[in-house]
Structure 1
Amino acid sequence: MIELVTLPQAKEHLRIDDDAGDADLTLKIQAGSAAILAYVQGSRDRIVSSDGALIEGEPLLRTQTALLMLLGWLDRNRGGEEEEKLKQGELPFSVTMLIYDLRRPTIF
């Protein structure tokens, strides 16, 4: 499973000092990473190599920042309190504004 940010990076961003929620946060890192990589679709190869290694550069930094924003949103909305603000398949605006121009839809 690809993780765009590390657990310590996520905890620093969310200002978490203890280890009680590490398993939950790790799941959110993995799921959020997958959602962001699915969103950018055809640009995934600018962020992650074919062997799953992160590719250093501006696209990675933007997707990492987007993931941190998404983790904050997920943390605030643990029970789906704001789900009516999003349509199926959408990410919060604060996330997509960072990666929108990386989005390259793949047509089958």
Structure 2
Amino acid sequence: MIELVTMEEAQAHLKITNPDVDLLDLQLKINAASKVVLNYLAGTNFYEVEVDINNVPILDTSGEPIYAETSSGDRIVMYEVKAATLLMLGYLNRDRDTDEEKAFEMGFIPRPVTALLYPLRTPTIA
């Protein structure tokens, strides 16, 4: 399972400071929010790509993009994808059983999440 945000990022976003918080529940929501975002992106790249000084993607010898990495060698998730995942996590955490505010319709994700992801998505024909 690809996690688009870390436990630490999730706790910071949700302003969780209590050490007794149910980490299993939070991990479940991280996984679910990540999956929602990945499903919406439908195979579109979600990692930062290295660019040259003209903002043109840098490609390797086979023509594939070179992805930006952390100092530990992990690929960096695009900021808007990370932000969308954290927003989705917030919805899942706040509305545990219902969607009383009618933030999104059945089968759709909340508009703020979609607004961040839509420009990245590769359109598909059903």
Q: Calculate the TM-score normalised by the size of structure 2.
A: 0.68
8 Å contact from structure 1 (residues 67, 95) kept in 2: yes
How is 1:20-99 mapped onto 2 (pairs within 5 angstroms)? 20-43=21-44, 45-47=45-47, 55-56=75-76, 60-82=78-100, 84-99=102-117
Question: Alignment partner of 1:4: what SS?
Answer: coil
Query: After the TM superposition, which parts of structure 1 deviate over 2 Å for at least 4 consecutive aligned residues?
Result: 45-48, 53-57, 81-89, 105-108
Between the two proteins, the alignment pairs up a number of residues equal to: 101
The higher radius of gyration belongs to: 2
Q: Which has the higher contact order (CA 8 A, sep 6+)?
A: 1
Question: Alignment partner of 1:11: what SS?
Answer: helix
Question: Alignment partner of 1:31: what SS?
Answer: helix
Q: Unaligned regions of 5+ residues in structure 1, if any?
A: none
Q: Unaligned regions of 5+ residues in structure 2, if any?
A: 49-72
CA gap of 1:71–1:40, structure 2 versus 1, over 3 A, is: same
Calculate the aligned-residue CA RMSD, in Å: 2.4
Q: Calculate the TM-score normalised by the size of structure 1.
A: 0.79
